[in-house]
Structure 1
Amino acid sequence: MSDQELFYLLALLKVDGVGDIMAKKLLTHCGNAESVFKSKLNQIAGIDGVGSVLLNNLKDKSVFEKANKELEFINTNNINVSFFQDENYSDRLKHCFDSPVLIFSAGNINLKNKKIISIVGTRQITSYGTEFCKKLIEDLAPLDPVIVSGFAYGVDIVAHQLAMDYNLQTIGVLAHGLNQIYPKTHKKYVAAMEQNGGFITEFWSTANPDKENFVRRNRIVAGMTEATIVIESADRGGSLITANLANDYNRDVFAVPGRVTDKYSQGCNDLIKTQKANVLTSAADLVYILNWNIENKGKTVQKQLFVELEPDEQKVYDFLLKNGKELLDMIALQCDFPIYKISGVLLNMELKGVIRPLPGKLFEAI
């Protein structure tokens, strides 16, 4: 995108009354942002939602000065900008009707052909939540997923740290501009995250981490990912907003169950009870429901020589060796395992390289 195109887009987004949805209507009608400003007012008066107030606001010349200052910040700080129609814009977010027209980013972010999940939850994460998150990311690491979160205290920063521990790409979605970091105590993680991942935001350098910005931020967390995982949450909180947004976008939602007496399990338990989230007890649940195939970062998975199998794994392996390709449900039935258990057994066997998944939830011995 040229500086001129970006300049007019920035100016359009600064017009009072022009949000992401209205901006997309104007761009579709006029072709580009420059044409919006240069069109006669009667040419755009017929657009749905455009009234006399907005038409008058389009005459405001101060938006060009604001756009010029932001463009200078972008160029000076080598900020990456993605337009919602660009190839480098998140594919999933692109299909959300209220997605940002522009996304600003810093770091080394690559979303193409990636498994992308968001992990969210309370800022008061407990030892239970921390241990579950650690086990989850450890088990998912062979699939090389991108871990998205909000870079806040609690679950967010734990998820980011663990992703970095396992050399996974991780992205922090910010509720403010890229000229600052909030909370300030998390500045120590910035350099490491930008090495393999980084930060994205829809907010300009003039935006502060105000309360309402976090709600807007949550729709990006939900919209750009294949699934949203709620580790822990009280009966109210931003993570529940993210989960509801993910449901609105027809994304999968997972929640970690907990004791009914635990404050920070109430939100998760309610999501499960109201059927707004799948129960998440292990990485195997996620792999099964999302129908992910086990990959080893582009390398062919081969059976290890003299691999040791648990008794349950040996039973499944012998069954597949004898019967060839079989459906997950049939494996569970013939091996006399409940579905929730067979999912975990199959995942462990895939990681050991003794079976492989096939399309249609089929599995075969290697």
Structure 2
Amino acid sequence: MEYFIDLRDLWISPAKEINSIKSIKNEIKEKIINNRNSDYIKRLFSDINKHNIDVITIYDENYPEGLRYIYDNPKVLYKKGSLIEEDNLAIAIVGSRKATSYGKWACEKFAKELASIGVTIVSGLALGIDAIAHKSTIEENGRTIGVLGNGLDTIYPKKNLFLYNEIETKGAILTEFPLGVPPLAFNFPLRNRIISGLSLGIIVIEAKEKSGSLITAHHALEQGKDVFALPGNINSIFSRGTNKLIKDGAKPLLDIDDILEEVYQLREKVLIKKKKKINHTNFSDTENKILKCLEEGPIHSDNIVYKTGLDISTVNSILTILELKGVIKELTGRVFTLY
């Protein structure tokens, strides 16, 4: 790209010129020269079309903005499903493949709460936390993006076939690896920079001291993204990585407000979205007091009591009425949000 500027010149340049380019391995030069033929191109696009895959390059307008300016961005992306403008409002959730019951509960909680306010959830379509993040988002009718460490013609792990199919209709599956590339171990650290690049922030649910999730977190930090880590039992090997992240400066994730406080794009868009929906003339003064609290984002009933100065029985009664009116809903553990 730096040498030719216009890559179309690569197709017609003499082999001698290609061989003279510095900082490119001879093996790569040989591949470029040998693949400059119409048969190769026909086979390539025949396979792509057969698998119903879209190809996006860094030169295209629909290339994800979040990836355009990260270090070592993927020059080509292979996609199934759709990417929409709302996917710019995304949070990544990653964690251990062997999640504990605590980790599974927390992953489902935060994925559903974020999806319910229009946030796209990004993860790596692996077993454990990744799969729970995607599944929980789909259950909440939200959008989700899965980033693979292999070609789109390989479903890995095979247990996630149903998720693969669901995500294709309710989001997108992305990879930088061409068709035929297997899920090799060294591919996964590479794909982690894409997971963080697509997201405004990243949640690490559970991670051992040496974990791929920590690699994703470090990519996020290098990209200037917020990192949130779920605090865990100091005796659990699955919390050593997340606890260390907190020790090193990641924000402890206790509730969804921790995310809304840090990610200003998320906070502003959520506030605008919620304020547009509420017609305050349809509600009593007491109901409006509570609705204004909820416009700031999901909130626990105890915090509503504190902010409004109303007694707990009144707050609980009004919350029930607002739920029956279909204006609000309870997420988990007496945390409420606007519909």
Q: Give distance in 2, aligned partners of 1:154 and 1:141.
A: 19
2:141 is the alignment partner of 1:167:
yes
- CA displacement at 1:274 relative to structure 2: 1.4
Asked if 1:197 corresponds to 2:171, the answer is yes
Length-normalised TM-score, structure 2: 0.78
Give, in whole Å, the separation in 2 of the partners of 1:311 and 1:283: 15
Does 2:157 correspond to 1:183?
Answer: yes
Structure 1 contact 190–198 (Cα < 8 Å) conserved: no
- Structure 2 regions of 5+ residues with no counterpart? 291-300, 311-334
| Comparing 294-303 and 241-250, the one that deviates more | 294-303
1:5-44 mapped onto 2 (5 Å cutoff):
24-26=1-3, 29-31=4-6, 33-39=7-13
CA distance in 2 between counterparts of 1:58 and 1:131 reads 48
- Distance change >3 Å, CA 200–CA 297, structure 1 → 2: farther
* Structure 2 letter corresponding to 1:228: I
**1:38, distance to aligned residue in structure 2 (A):** 2.2
Q: Which moved more, 1:127-136 or 1:68-77?
A: 68-77
Which of 288, 301, 307 in structure 1 is aligned with 2:261? 288
- Mapped to 1, the partners of 2:144 and 2:241 lie a distance apart of 25
Residue 55 to residue 272, structure 1, CA distance change in 2 (3 Å): closer
**Residue from 204, 216, 224 that aligns with 1:242:** 216
Q: 5 Å matches for 1:1-366?
A: 24-26=1-3, 29-31=4-6, 33-39=7-13, 49-50=22-23, 53=26, 57=30, 60-62=33-35, 64=37, 65-112=39-86, 114-275=88-249, 277-291=250-264, 292-293=267-268, 294-295=270-271, 296=273, 299-303=276-280, 305=284, 307=287, 310=301, 312-317=303-308, 351=337
Shift of 1:228: 1.2
Partner residue, 2:329: none
In structure 2, relative to structure 1, the CA distance for the partners of 1:96 and 1:269 (3 Å cut) is same
Q: In structure 1, what residue type is equivalent to 2:228? A: F
Q: Which moved more, 1:117-126 or 1:70-79?
A: 70-79
**Alignment partner of 2:72: what SS?**
coil
Inter-partner Cα distance in structure 2 for 1:127 and 1:53: 50
For structure 1, the 5+ residue unaligned runs are 1-23, 320-347, 354-366
Deviations 1:275-316 (A, max 9, x none): 2x2211111100011121335479523455453855642442
Which amino acid in 2 is paired with 1:279? P
Q: CA deviation at 1:34?
A: 2.3
246 and 160 in structure 1: CA distance in 2 versus 1, 3 angstrom threshold: same
Change (3 A) 1:168 1:271: same
CA distance in 1, matches of 2:161, 2:189: 22
Report the 3-state secondary structure (helix = DSSP H, G, I; strand = E; otherwise coil) of the residue aligned with 1:178: coil
Pair 1:167–1:266, CA change in 2 (3 A): same
Q: 1:244: Cα distance to partner?
A: 0.7
In the alignment, residue 278 of structure 1 is paired with which amino acid?
K
Displaced runs of 4 or more, over 6 A: 41-47
SS at match of 1:187: helix
- Does the 8 Å CA contact 1:90/1:224 hold for their aligned counterparts? yes
Q: Report deviation, 1:258.
A: 0.8
Deviation string 1:298-348 (CA, Å, 9 cap, x unpaired) is 9523455453855642442469xxxxxxxxxxxxxxxxxxxxxxxxxxxx6
Measure the CA separation in 2 of the matches of 1:297 and 1:121. Answer: 30
Distance 2:25 2:148 in 1: 34
> Which deviations, in whole Å up to 9, do the C-alpha atoms of 1:237-261 show, x marking residues without a partner?
1101111111111111111111211
CA, structure 1 residues 286+312, in 2 after alignment: closer, same or farther (shift >3 Å)? closer
CA contact (8 A) 2:274 2:338 kept: no
- Quote the offset at 1:61 in angstroms: 1.7
Whole-Å separation in 2 of the counterparts to 1:30 and 1:114: 29
TM-score after normalising by structure 1:
0.73
**Contact 2:154–2:180 (Cα < 8 Å) also in 1:** no
* Structure 2 counterpart of 1:301, one-letter code: I
Tell me which amino acid in the other structure corresponds to 2:184. D
Q: Give the CA deviation at 1:100.
A: 0.9
1:302 and 1:216 map into 2 onto residues whose CA distance is: 47
Residue by residue, what CA displacement relative to the aligned partner does 1:144-187 show, whole Å, maximum 9, x if unpaired?
01101010000000000000011111111011111121011111
Change (3 A) 1:181 1:300: same
Q: Is the 8 A contact 1:255 1:271 kept in 2?
A: yes
Structure 1: how far apart are the matches of 2:111 and 2:149?
25
Measured against aligned partners, the alpha-carbon deviations of 1:48-107 in whole angstroms (never above 9, x if no partner) come to x54684795376324545444222111223311111122211101011131111101001
